[in-house]
Amino acid sequence: MLMNSNSNHLNISRRVARIFLLSVLLGISNVGLAEPVDSDALLRTIPESFKSAASQYSLMLDGCKGDPKIPRSYEGGQLKMVAPKDWTSGFFAGSLWYLYEFTHDPKWQAAAVDYTARLESIKDYQGSHDVGFILGCSFGNGYRLTKNPAYLEIMNQGAESLTTRFNPNVGLLRSWDHGKWNYPVIIDNMMNLEFLIDVSKQAGKSRYREIAFSHADKTTKNHFRDDSSSFHVVDYDPVTGEVLAKKTHQGAADGSSWARGQAWALYGYTMMFRETGNPVYLSQATKVADFILNHPRLPADKIPYWDFDAAAIPDVPRDASAAAVMSSALIELSTKTTGKASSQYLALAQQQLISLSSPNYTAKVDENGNFILMHSVGNMPANSEVNVPINYADYYYLEALLRYRRLKETL
């Protein structure tokens, strides 16, 4: 990982050199993203990556036995455990579902059922937009894999709670109730629409879909700059629905491109196009993808700095979580596009997954607090979770590996 010292700078150079060597071995060129990648080589590493993930999460489960909370991150040698209302509470259960999906081992199903059940109270939680993240990753994956009708009932109630945050004057779901804002909407909120659409399909509630479309449409209108990068927070007037301010909360500056924010936008619009076929959403997804792909400060290993405009680049931390979200989204986007664009999106996802699966980002078993990936950034301005493992990086990484395997199986 990159930090502010000369010795770290040397380590970084060695790591970049190792990635370059790995890329050469896999037939990838660091210049020219449209270069063909030896995709079979990446495919062959997936069982090994899941094996290492399973070893880490087995140790994690053992270490957390008896604690009702949920592992979120590992900072300063301490495991950070959170309650269901924390926005990240659904990712650990989600990763357990992905381990079950890959291995079919009932051990993972039992663990996933346990960590999913811990989140049931969120079905009645109206205090944040994150209900979609929390219940979608846990109950949503659980329902997809087991069709347990009790899960659908909980998801239904959760969607009802989430939609209490929709104000028709504004046409958007309100993200937060805290802070100095009037009616804050963050780009991350695009990710909660998948949950609403999913429940709408399963339970036949068209209102949830309509709310999701309204949210996405208004976000398209107000959240993006001329270069197609996304602001983090747009604050609205709750009575008139007018935009009051465009700001950041977790980025380097109001006008900067916070890496995970770009990742949420890319993923959110790719998902919206999958669910609707609306070309406006595809166009937004490809514009964000192109912004990332062509960015002069996207490093050679394709794992972004925590903010594309961070002042001290290259001596600032990377954000593996942003890369994990991006790679998962890009695999899907490559299937919705054709020609050079499609190959470029897939090549970028492949390069990100190769980097994330390398020892530069994947921890050794029994290290890293038993999380899979190292080097994510939670909230740099608050100096919180900087260059640490975080559960959502692991979740989207496993998802991307599963998506990649599925893509290759269907070719």
| Site residues for ligand GLY per CB under 6 A | 87, 188, 250, 260, 378
Per annotation, catalytic residue among 130, 301, 319, 394: 130
> Which of residues 50 and 87 has its CB atom nearest to ligand GLY in the complex?
87
Backbone angles phi, psi at 321, to 5 degrees: -65, -40
DSSP 3-state of 345: helix
> Which of residues 161 and 175 has its CB atom nearest to ligand GLY in the complex?
175
CA distances from 68 to 29, 65, 74, 151, 392 (A): 47, 8, 17, 20, 19
Query: Active site includes 188?
Result: yes
Closest CA to 366 of 91, 52, 97: 52
Q: Which two tokens stand for residue 284?
A: 């937004």
Q: Which two tokens stand for residue 151?
A: 């899960």
Q: Whole-number minimum distance, CB 374 to ligand GLY, in Å?
A: 17
Q: Is 40 exposed, middle or buried (0-12, 13-18, 19+ CB in 10 A)?
A: exposed
Give me the residue label for tokens 């890009």: 330
> Which of residues 87 and 397 has its CB atom nearest to ligand GLY in the complex?
87
Q: Whole-number minimum distance, CB 188 to ligand GLY, in Å?
A: 4
Q: What is the CA radius of gyration of the chain?
A: 20
> Which of residues 188 and 275 has its CB atom nearest to ligand GLY in the complex?
188
Q: Whole-number minimum distance, CB 33 to ligand GLY, in Å?
A: 25
Per annotation, catalytic residue among 62, 177, 188, 366: 188
Query: Active site includes 130?
Result: yes
> Which of residues 15 and 72 has its CB atom nearest to ligand GLY in the complex?
72
Query: Would you say 188 and 264 are in contact if contact means Cβ atoms under 8 Å apart?
Result: yes
CB nearest ligand GLY: which residue? 188
**Longest CA span, the chain:** 58
Q: Whole-number minimum distance, CB 232 to ligand GLY, in Å?
A: 9
DSSP 3-state of 222: helix
Q: Whole-number minimum distance, CB 87 to ligand GLY, in Å?
A: 6
Q: Which residues are designated catalytic?
A: 130, 188
